[in-house]
Structure 1
Amino acid sequence: MSRLYRLSVILLIMIGLAACSGETDVPAETEAELEKLSLPMGYIADPQYAPYYVAAAKGYFAEAGYDVEFDYSFETDGMALVGANERPFAIVSGEQVILARAQELPVVYVLEWFQKFPIVIVSKTEAGIANPADLIGRNVGLPGFFGASYVGYVGLLNANGIEPTEVNATEIGFTQVEQLSNDNVEAVIGYANNEPLQLAG
């Protein structure tokens, strides 16, 4: 069985295994035999990566023979490493694969992590933002004008006939929770399984 195939199987079943209960004991004598693997995550450590953390904590990677180190570099860095055969996998957004293929990088999808595009608009209830049209004239914070958050934001505006110039969008880095909590912006663009969970406490 090829190394690439084995790693593919691990990633495909990992999320399902992470939901299983019970502890997994990894024999001490096998720890020295684990193959080190650096996995580019494409973002900072946050709740959206919970399935990977659970899999590591329960020993599923070790069971398969791997000592996985999470690399929190940018998505574009991960794509470049995979394209150069320096990493077997990277966790990236779908549009990054499309962009990489457009640049003739030899990368392919292995696992569809999200069944629906996970980008969401998050605001406080008192802001009165209930639909896309409510964004007009509002201050909206994005991590940057790049990546999945930006693609989702632009797609939302286009789908609702809103011109980008009608919204006061600013780059705030990956500080959505802080900026919204402090009322520095009226809404932020984030991931459905990340910022809303943090804001909910």
Structure 2
Amino acid sequence: MKKNSLLWLVMLLFVITACGNAEGINQTEGMESVSIVLDWTPNTNHTGLYVAEAKGYFEEEGLDVDIILPGESGADQFVASGQADFGISSQQAVTEARIQDIPLVSVAAIIQNNTSGFASPVDKGISSPADYANRTYGGYGAPIESAFLGALMEEENASVDDVEIMNIGNTDFFTAFERDVDFIWIYYGWTGIEAEVRGIELKVQYLNEYSEELDYHTPVITTNERMIKDKSEVIKRFLSAVSKGYQDAITKPEESASLLLDAVPDLDADLVHASQVWLADKYQADAEQWGIQSETVWNNFANWMLNNDLLDEELDIQEAFTNDYLPQ
């Protein structure tokens, strides 16, 4: 059994036992029940889903969609085990899952390019990866973080060996800087915009500005192989509705932000509106349509992971993602 496969199996069995079968949740007469698990608490990465729900795009496709929070186990386990039909994940997570024979498949890119980077308040004096040397990085405990740091620092003839890496877990970004942390990996569309709303100026070194290989799709929408085999038409109908939702998020960001807030009123309204405007031209970017995924992007990142000893073997790209279910 490949590395970590046993751990995955245990987690999947836990999900099956604890959560029961998700099929039939919120089923409405004459509608097909479908579930999607988020990767995190609701935010503007998910706006298209909530717009599709609010505007009846799912209903037009004959779908009764249940949007589920991930809980401790995350979306990938739910989707891979068949306890949810769809989930929000990332190209990185799908790549790691496929190497372990976990049947996740990415069917749409929510945001075309990688909008993440290493961020610090301007008073930390970090303006480039070379400045990470002799500083403290607040990490989440994933091996890929050190590889990311090394890739950026090598571009400036610096070494990740000179960085002190502190595991801060899920500590709030703004709280972390009270713990002698100098910089953290963030997604600018949410945390970076939150800093702007709070009046905190950041310096950010985006991963894709230093390496084309790190410009991967994140987040993505996933399903499982069983859905592809047995319910391909449901996938098409689901993505048809979701595509309309994200197209609205692109062309009508203020309205879409309001719909997200209607569904999740506890969110900070200023943050949601500012984030939505920032992301509006990021969802599709220069791709021919929303959701499309690039084979080159998948190959580049998988090869980078393999070359950095983050994968045990080459990824079968054709099994990991597909554009076949996006609207034609």
Please indicate, yes or no, whether the TM-score normalized by the shorter chain is above 0.5: yes
Shift of 1:184: 4.2
Q: Do residues 67 (structure 1) and 65 (structure 2) align? A: yes
Task: Report the equivalent of 1:188.
Answer: 184
Provide Cα deviations, 1:117-145, integer angstroms capped at 9, x if missing partner: 23211111121111111111112222x11
Match of 1:160 among 150, 153, 166: 153
Indicate the residue corresponding to 2:95 in structure 1.
98
Structure 1, unmatched stretches of 5+, are: 1-30
Distance 2:160 2:134 in 1: 10
Q: Which moved more, 1:175-184 or 1:154-163?
A: 175-184
Q: In structure 2, how many angstroms separate the alpha carbons of the residues matched to 1:132 and 1:96?
A: 25
The aligned residue for residue 145 of structure 1 is: 141
Give 1:200's aligned residue.
196
After TM superposition, give the deviation of residue 159 of structure 1 in Å: 4.1
Deviation at 1:85, TM superposition (A): 2.3
Where 1:91 maps in the other structure, the secondary structure is strand
Check whether the contact 1:81–1:87 (CA below 8 A) recurs between aligned residues.
yes
Shift, 1:99, TM fit: 1.2
CA distance in 2, matches of 1:107, 1:32: 30
- State the identity as a percent: 23
The 8 Å contact of residues 34 and 67 in structure 1, kept in 2 or not, is answered as no
* Bigger mean CA offset, 44-53 vs 133-142: 44-53
Distance 1:44 1:153 in 2: 26
Q: Which residue of 1 aligns with 2:37?
A: 40
Q: Please give the per-residue CA displacement for 1:48-107, whole angstroms capped at 9, x wherever unaligned.
A: 333333333334334432232222235x64222322222221111111111111111222
The C-alpha deviation readout for 1:148-178, integer Å capped at 9, x for no partner, is xx63552242343254432122222333433
- Of residues 105, 114, 128, the one that matches 2:111 is 114
- TM-score in terms of structure 2 length: 0.44
**Are 2:78 and 1:85 aligned?**
no
Q: Would you say 1:127 and 2:124 are equivalent positions?
A: yes
Q: Does the C-alpha gap of structure 1 residues 136 and 37 become closer, same or farther in structure 2, counting only changes over 3 Å?
A: same
Q: TM-score with structure 1 length normalisation?
A: 0.68
SS at match of 1:115: coil
CA contact (8 A) 1:45 1:72 kept: no
Contact in 1 for aligned 2:75/2:88 (Cα 8 Å): yes
2:107 aligned partner, one-letter code = V
**Deviation (angstroms), 1:32:** 5.4
The answer to which of 120-129 and 80-89 deviates more is 80-89
Contact 1:137 1:167 in 2 (8 A): yes
Give the gaps of 5 or more residues in structure 2.
1-27, 198-328
Alpha-carbon distance between aligned partners in 2 of 1:72 and 1:108, rounded to the nearest angstrom = 18
Q: Once structures 1 and 2 are overlaid, which stretch shifts more, 39-48 or 130-139?
A: 39-48
